[in-house]
């Protein structure tokens, strides 16, 4: 009987209830689209920041010690990080800086410069993947643009490196322009720099990139500091702060817009339900005259509102996720990934809005069956 009456109620006022359904569907569509964009924003943001390289730097604590080995870290620290980076969604690389000299084979003049030994992920430049053995020279190296101009060399040329009595020949695999200090450096494999510096198994610092929410990043930094007590672990401020601020602003803007859309949807449903309440006074009066308690009548109307919310949320939520994919492609150039959690959340919020919008039906509690049956409005 309950479901039969509910079905008759839904089809008795189709025009007005269709308006309610459209309002709920539109609200659900916009809500789902914005929530999906908000959920995707974290992943998208960390993906974009990944192109900037490392956001964590690990250095030795005792950097003022006179001995060179005391101002460096053991390479095993990097090896421990590299072994766990896949499980921790991170990347890392080790660097050893050596003040040495270099010259082109055709030039007799040695030029003082900084040589950086590198091992691990290419967090500074993608060209670091070319730091491999080169037939004929044994070692590849990468030159910054300013150093290359100063030495008069280019990609493919041989280069002589020297530090005290230790010499090394390498071939320039590529020339990079970073706009930073890397333009003034020569990059070689880590073992080559260790041999030039006579510091086997030592590194100057470790760069790490952890890609997650700002809160997760800070937690990861604290965890690394506990695991590596002999080192100073800190975030690269310009990246960690920018990432946190940008993510907070995007999140706040989207959530505020979702709240505004839900409020406007609720007001639309409220106005429509007020008209429904006026039209159903006679139905309620008849039910009361037949002995039906108002609590049961109210449950009937709330079930109707929840059913409308469920239907509007299901249709609008699916449309909203599709809309977010299109918006991501149009605005950001990359389609937003559909997040499954968004769909049930959008439906749930739409059902709550529909039930809250049914508040005007409470006025039916004051309907007097006698007056309704006598035709008194």
In this structure, how many other beta carbons lie within 10 angstroms of the beta carbon of residue 112?
A: 8
Global pTM value: 0.58
Q: What is the mean pLDDT of residues 94-98?
A: 93
**Mean pLDDT, to the nearest integer, of 119-130?**
63
Is the pLDDT confidence value at 193 over 90? yes
Instruction: For residue 120, name the pLDDT band (cuts at 50, 70, 90).
Output: confident
pLDDT 10s digits, 272-285: 777 766 666 666 66
- Least confident stretch, 75-84, 278-287, 361-370: 361-370
Q: What is the pLDDT of residue 1?
A: 47
Q: What is the spatial distance between Cα 61 and Cα 222, in angstroms, rounded to a whole number?
A: 16
pLDDT value at residue 375? 56
Give pLDDT, residue 364: 60
The Cα–Cα gap between 114 and 148 comes to 13
At 158 the pLDDT is: 92
pLDDT tens digits, one per residue of 212-248: 667 777 888 899 999 888 899 988 766 556 666 777 7
User: With 60 as the cut, is the pLDDT of residue 10 above it?
Assistant: no
Higher pLDDT among residues 105 and 327, named by residue: 105
Average pLDDT, integer, range 305-310: 84
pLDDT given for residue 211 in this prediction: 72
Q: Which of 7-11, 41-45, 109-113 has the lowest mean pLDDT?
A: 7-11
| Average pLDDT over all residues of the chain | 78
Q: Report phi then psi at 151, rounded to 5.
A: -85, -15
CB 186 within 8 A of CB 143: yes
Q: How confident is the model at residue 114 (pLDDT cuts 50, 70, 90)?
A: very high
SS3 106: coil
Please answer whether residues 280 and 8 qualify as being in contact, where contact means their C-beta atoms are separated by less than 8 angstroms: no
Residue 133 confidence (pLDDT) above 80: no
Report the pLDDT averaged over residues 110-129.
Answer: 77
For residue 374, what pLDDT is reported? 56
Supply the pLDDT for residue 314: 92
Could you tell me the residue ranges of all domains in the chain?
2-47+245-373, 55-231
pLDDT at 329 over 90: no
Choose the most confident range, by mean pLDDT, from 51-60, 126-135, 166-175, 321-330.
Answer: 166-175
> Which range among 50-59, 96-105, 345-354 shows the weakest confidence by mean pLDDT?
50-59
Judge contact between 196 and 96, C-beta under 8 A. Answer: no
Q: Give the pLDDT score at 136.
A: 47
| pLDDT tens figures, 43-61 | 666 555 555 567 889 999 8
Q: Is the pLDDT of residue 119 over 80?
A: yes
* Lowest-pLDDT choice from 9-18, 162-171, 231-240: 9-18
What is the model's pLDDT at position 90?
78
Q: Which residues touch 319 (CB under 8 Å, ≥6 apart)?
A: 25, 28, 29, 32
360 to 25, 116, 271, 302: CA distances (angstroms): 20, 73, 8, 11
């Amino acid at each position: 009987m309950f479901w039969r009456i509910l079905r008759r109620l839904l089809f008795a006022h189709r025009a007005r209830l269709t308006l309610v359904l459209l309002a709920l569907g539109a609200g659900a569509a916009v809500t789902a689209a914005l929530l999906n964009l908000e959920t995707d924003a974290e992943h998208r943001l960390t993906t974009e920041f990944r192109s900037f390289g490392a956001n964590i730097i690990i250095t030795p604590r005792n950097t003022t010690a006179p001995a060179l080995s005391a101002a460096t870290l053991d390479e095993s620290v990097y090896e421990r990080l590299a072994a766990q980076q896949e499980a921790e969604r991170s990347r890392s690389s080790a660097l050893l800086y050596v003040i040495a000299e270099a010259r082109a084979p055709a030039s007799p003049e040695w030029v003082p410069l900084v040589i950086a030994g590198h091992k691990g992920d290419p967090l500074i430049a993608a060209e670091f993947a070319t730091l491999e053995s080169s037939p004929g020279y044994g070692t590849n190296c990468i030159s910054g643009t300013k150093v290359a101009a100063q030495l008069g060399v280019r990609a493919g040329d041989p280069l002589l490196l020297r530090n005290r009595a230790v010499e090394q020949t390498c071939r320039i695999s590529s020339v990079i322009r970073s706009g930073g200090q890397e333009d003034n450096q020569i990059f070689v494999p880590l073992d080559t720099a260790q041999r030039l510096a006579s510091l086997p198994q030592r590194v100057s610092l470790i760069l790490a990139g952890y890609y997650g929410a700002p809160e997760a990043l800070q937690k990861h930094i604290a965890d690394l500091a506990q695991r590596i007590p002999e080192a100073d672990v800190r975030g690269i401020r310009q990246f960690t702060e920018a990432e946190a601020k940008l993510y907070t602003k995007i999140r706040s803007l989207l959530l505020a817009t979702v709240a505004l859309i839900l409020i406007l949807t609720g007001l639309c449903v409220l106005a429509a339900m007020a008209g429904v309440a006026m039209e159903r006074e006679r139905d309620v009066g008849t039910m009361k005259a037949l002995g039906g308690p108002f609590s049961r009548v109210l449950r009937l109307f709330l079930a109707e509102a929840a059913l409308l919310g469920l239907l509007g949320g299901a249709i609008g939520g699916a449309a909203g996720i599709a809309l977010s994919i299109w918006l991501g492609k149009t605005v950001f150039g990359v389609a937003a990934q559909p997040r499954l959690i968004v769909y049930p959340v959008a439906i749930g919020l739409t059902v709550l809005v529909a039930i809250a919008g049914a508040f005007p039906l409470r006025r039916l509690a004051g309907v007097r069956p006698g007056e309704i049956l006598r035709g008194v409005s």
